[in-house]
Amino acid sequence: MRLRNFRRAPLYLCLALVVAVADLPLLWIVLTALKPDAEIIAYPPSFWPGELTFDNFRTLFEISQFSAYLRNSLLVSVGATALTVLLGVCAAYALVRFRIPGLRWVGELSLFAYLVPPILVLVPVAQVVARFGLANNLGALVVLYTATLLPFALWTLRSYFHGLTVELEEAAMVDGCTRFGAFVRVVLPQAVPGVIATSVFTFNAAWSEYLFASTLLADPEKFTVSQGLSLLMDQTSVYSWGVLMAAALVIVTPVLVLFVLVQKFLVGGVGQGAVK
């Protein structure tokens, strides 16, 4: 037992090194947000703060409408995530279970839509949004994010539905379930990890999106957090790094909390629908 653990020591060391490198920027953000400005600009720089302060967070909400930015981003991200996952689940299930002529090619073409860089469709999308009078509208962002993220959600969920056995679903229908009943009671519980993984990715993408938001929104009261951070850099002239790092930490925290909350569901959802 000890010999096996000793042989795995280099692997654990490499994993620890990778985690340290990946998490070091986040740790630096946290420590900088808790430092006073005088300590941040001091030379030589210090890694650990000599004095902990929360003034940067208070200043952040005093000089900007960051609470409004958080609310706007939350509304847009949750709306886009819910709509994308709902449509993605239905479409992915249809692609896997129904043999409709031409349906497979529709799924194949949707992947190419996801591969198109957003910058290439920015101008026509902005023109369409302006023509329909939806400029400076958070609802337009929800629809736009759903359209851009749906192809990825479709392909991610499709792979999960492909891995689910058909026999359990057919057994449920033999026992009296309708197609929809078997889908809800048998298929969805087994696809919980895929649904959650897709939801987390969609929320993260919508939460951090900047290109479309900065183009379609002009009213500061409707800005998202990505626009708010960009505006904050102009307001502070990039001299108050503590305020900027506090803003970055506030933006990152919801996504980190979401990942922590759903970790157990990623494993626990496997096989839940396999009990008759």
Domain boundaries, the chain: 65-274
9-18, 23-32, 159-168 — which is least confidently predicted?
159-168
Q: What pLDDT is stored for residue 186 in this prediction?
A: 81
Nearest to 216 by CA among 112, 132, 110: 132
Q: How many alpha carbons fall within 13 Å on the CB side of residue 208?
A: 14
Separation CA 148–CA 173 (nearest Å): 35
Q: What pLDDT is stored for residue 79 in this prediction?
A: 95
Give me the count of residues in the chain. Answer: 276
Taking the alpha carbons of 189, 194, 199, 200 in that order, is the dihedral positive or negative? positive
Concatenated DSSP letters for 171-240?
HHHHTT--HHHHIIIIIHHHTHHHHHHHHHHHHHHHHH--HHHHHH---GGG--HHHHHHHHHHHHTTT-
Mean pLDDT of the chain: 82
Residue 107 tokens, joined: 């799924």
pLDDT tens track for 38-51:
888 777 877 888 88
Separation CA 67–CA 236 (nearest Å): 17
The CATH code for residues 65-274 is: 1.10.3720.10
Q: What pLDDT is stored for residue 55 in this prediction?
A: 87
Q: What pLDDT is stored for residue 5 in this prediction?
A: 62
Task: Evaluate if residue 24 carries a pLDDT over 90.
Answer: no
**Cis before 44 (ω within 30):** yes
* pTM for this entry: 0.83
Residue type, 159: S
pLDDT tens track for 151-185:
888 888 887 887 777 777 778 787 777 878 888 88
Farthest CA pair distance, the chain: 74
